[in-house]
Amino acid sequence: MTKNLRLLGQYMNNSFELLVALKNKGYLKTTRDPLWWPRSGTFWVIIGAILTQQSKWENVEKSMENLERAGIDSLEMLSALPIEQLSEYIRPSGFYNTKAKNLHLLTHAILKEFDSFEVFCTRVDREWLLAQKGIGAESADSILCYACKQEAMVVDAYTARLLTSFGYSFESYAELQEWVEEGLLSNLSKIHVLYGKEMSLNELYARFHGKIVEFCKENSRGKTVFVDSLGI
């Protein structure tokens, strides 16, 4: 990791300072779900984690609406869909043939290995997910954090762009994730004071990721994130 201590007149030493700044600016603003990702704790998160790859969330929602209209309400029903039919339902998300194949393989693997979504959530680990076709680090952590409610910190392109605006550069997903986690874990007592309660790491990681995405969407032009309003 490389760091330029000053950029755009801003200073930030760790992810805890970023968390405080985002919270003070009113993030999270959405109230759609306590953990930010829509329908957290359900099999819909698995679908979303696959479909959002190289796609806007608005298009993912269109695909999931198609699945809902088709009566899909469980992992078992999703698994039973022929790939060709699944492809048509998720067409709005783009790369629909590839995503349909990967989603089909993943749902079958989950049911074969764990029997049900509920058991999957309690027993799956990151290593197993990363071994599945079409699942990278971000998708795996999204599923662990938002579907399984495990202690997984999701970092993504928004996270990287935001930290670039503060002069940080990371060589890998793992390095970026480690930096974010370290700043939070070393300040847990302060975080509990900040929120006036003890937070689980799952809730903390989930909502922090949501804060970052929301801020970046509201304060970006292209790949540039404007951070002056954060005051750090």
Record the pTM.
Answer: 0.94
pLDDT score, position 232: 78
The CATH 1.10.340.30 portion of the chain extends over 44-147
Burial 169-199 (b: 16+ CB within 10 A, else e): ebeebeebbebbbebbeebeeebeeeeeeeb
Q: Residue 144 has what pLDDT?
A: 98
Rounded to whole angstroms, how far apart are CA atoms 202 and 85? 35
> Closest by alpha carbon to 49, among 114, 122, 145, 170?
145
Model pLDDT, residue 120: 98
CATH 1.10.1670.10 fits 2-34+153-230, yes or no: yes
Minimal CA–CA distance to 202: which of 52, 44, 37, 32?
Answer: 37
- Options 2.40.40.20, 1.10.340.30, 3.10.200.10, 3.90.1010.10; CATH for 44-147 is 1.10.340.30
How many other CB atoms are found less than 10 A from the CB of residue 142?
Answer: 25
pLDDT at 104: 97
Q: N- to C-terminal Cα distance for the chain? A: 20
Return residue ranges of the chain for CATH 1.10.1670.10: 2-34+153-230
The pLDDT value recorded for residue 2 is 53
Per-residue pLDDT of the chain (232 residues; tens, 9 = 90+): 655 434 333 578 999 999 999 999 999 999 999 999 999 999 999 999 999 999 999 999 999 999 999 999 999 999 999 999 999 999 999 999 999 999 999 999 999 999 999 999 999 999 999 999 999 999 999 999 999 999 999 999 999 999 999 989 999 999 999 999 999 999 999 999 999 999 999 999 999 999 999 999 999 998 889 988 887 7
